């Protein structure tokens, strides 16, 4: 059976080709080989990512860091199946992704990846509970009878059980982002992408959000955090720095910050 479709009870997907490409790395969650990305507008090519060689294992907490325009969002969109690369390879759980059709991509987006965005992207006149439940409506294999229990558990994980019946518009920014994290978590995806998740928050709320992400990582989730700030990136175990569309450094050797401890206690 294809590894790509062997986990989390998702039925095998015959549209995903099996590969024997470099067997040593078939178990890496993500692997890119000489990946590049160009945008094409009116026949004009804008190259944005160059020669990206990257391996990310299940259970890692990785920051992708770099100044504005360095290609962070573009790389996140490719790794999160929201956009396609131009040349090179992107292997997901050992399987090439270049030839996936729209149905296969839709299924992966619904089951394997989740996103937390800077702007929260919650439905404002909808309760916390229904916001978190929403992705389950599009999930092909989680049964209707499991939806409410999963939703309750995800909300509990981010400590917002007492706000379940509030409209999301009645919450603070930090609470909204924790709801977005619960929504990202509810499908039990292979990867949670967080794109500048503290960008719209005050320092205290930002710490609470980073605490929530670090707790998810401790419980086994794979997290890819995109940020332009070193102080945020240092919450991960590994920092990949992009510069002008290339990987400038990839390090696990830095002073990691544990959210809410003396590392970053506020006055």
> Least CB distance from residue 86 to ligand ADP, whole Å?
12
Q: Does 68 bind ligand ADP (CB under 6 A)?
A: yes
Which residue in the set 71, 94, 174, 197 belongs to the binding site for ligand ADP (CB under 6 A)? Answer: 71
Nearer to ligand ADP, 41 or 144 (CB): 41
Strand 61-65 and strand 238-243: pairing? Answer: parallel
Which residue in the set 63, 70, 214, 232 belongs to the binding site for ligand ADP (CB under 6 A)? Answer: 70
Q: Does 99 bind ligand ADP (CB under 6 A)?
A: no
Strand 95-96 and strand 87-92: pairing? Answer: antiparallel
**Could you tell me which stretch among 6-14, 72-80, 100-108, 209-217 binds ligand ADP (CB under 6 A)?**
72-80
**Contact at 8 Å (CB) between 21 and 10?**
no
**Could you tell me which stretch among 65-73, 162-170, 217-225, 255-263 binds ligand ADP (CB under 6 A)?**
65-73
> Least CB distance from residue 242 to ligand ADP, whole Å?
7
Nearer to ligand ADP, 66 or 189 (CB): 66
Site pattern 1..40 for ligand ADP (x: CB under 6 A) = --------------------------------------x-
Gap between the Cα atoms of 66 and 51, Å rounded:
16
CB atoms within 10 A of CB 221: 21
Nearer to ligand ADP, 114 or 241 (CB): 241
Which residue in the set 28, 63, 74, 93 belongs to the binding site for ligand ADP (CB under 6 A)? Answer: 74
Which residue in the set 41, 99, 145, 251 belongs to the binding site for ligand ADP (CB under 6 A)? Answer: 41
Which residue in the set 10, 28, 56, 72 belongs to the binding site for ligand ADP (CB under 6 A)? Answer: 72
Which residue in the set 73, 164, 172, 200 belongs to the binding site for ligand ADP (CB under 6 A)? Answer: 73
Nearer to ligand ADP, 30 or 75 (CB): 75
Nearer to ligand ADP, 39 or 138 (CB): 39
The DSSP-derived string for the chain is --GGGSSTTPPP-TTS----S-GGGTT-SEEEEEEEEEEEETTEEEEEEEEEEEEE-TT-EEEEE--TTSSHHHHHHHHTTSS--SEEEEEETTEE-TT--HHHHHHHHHHTEEEEETT----TTSBHHHHHHHHHHT-SSS-HHHHHHHHHHHHHHTT-GGGTTSBGGGS-HHHHHHHHHHHHHTT--SEEEEESTTTTS-HHHHHHHHHHHHHHHHTT-EEEEEES-HHHHTTSSEEEEEETTEEEEEES-S-PPPTTSGGG---
Which residues make up the interface to ligand ADP (CB under 6 A)?
A: 39, 41, 46, 48, 66, 68-74
């Amino acid at each position: 059976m294809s590894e790509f479709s062997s986990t989390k009870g998702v039925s095998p997907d015959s549209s995903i080709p099996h590969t024997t490409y470099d067997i040593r790395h078939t178990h890496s969650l993500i692997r890119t080989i000489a990946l590049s990305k160009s945008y094409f507008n009116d026949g004009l090519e804008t190259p944005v990512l160059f020669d990206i060689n990257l391996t990310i294992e299940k259970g890692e907490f990785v920051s992708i860091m770099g100044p504005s325009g360095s290609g962070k969002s573009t790389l996140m969109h490719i790794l999160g199946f929201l956009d396609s690369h131009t040349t090179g390879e992107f292997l997901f759980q050992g399987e090439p992704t270049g030839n996936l059709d729209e149905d296969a991509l839709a299924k992966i987006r619904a089951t394997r990846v989740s996103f937390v965005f800077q702007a929260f992207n919650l439905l404002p006149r909808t309760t916390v509970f229904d916001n978190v439940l929403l992705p389950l409506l599009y999930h092909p294999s989680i049964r209707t009878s499991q939806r409410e229990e999963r939703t309750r558990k995800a909300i509990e994980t981010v400590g917002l059980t007492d706000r379940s019946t509030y409209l999301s518009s009645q919450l603070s920014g930090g609470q909204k982002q924790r709801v977005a994290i619960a929504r990202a978590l509810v499908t039990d995806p292979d990867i949670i992408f967080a794109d500048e998740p503290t960008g719209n928050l005050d320092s205290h709320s930002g710490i609470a959000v980073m605490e929530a992400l670090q707790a998810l990582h401790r419980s086994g989730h794979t997290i890819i955090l995109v940020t332009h700030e070193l102080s945020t990136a240092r919450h991960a175990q590994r920092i990949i720095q992009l510069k002008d569309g290339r990987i400038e450094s990839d390090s696990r050797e830095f002073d990691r910050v544990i959210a809410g401890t003396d590392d970053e206690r506020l006055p």
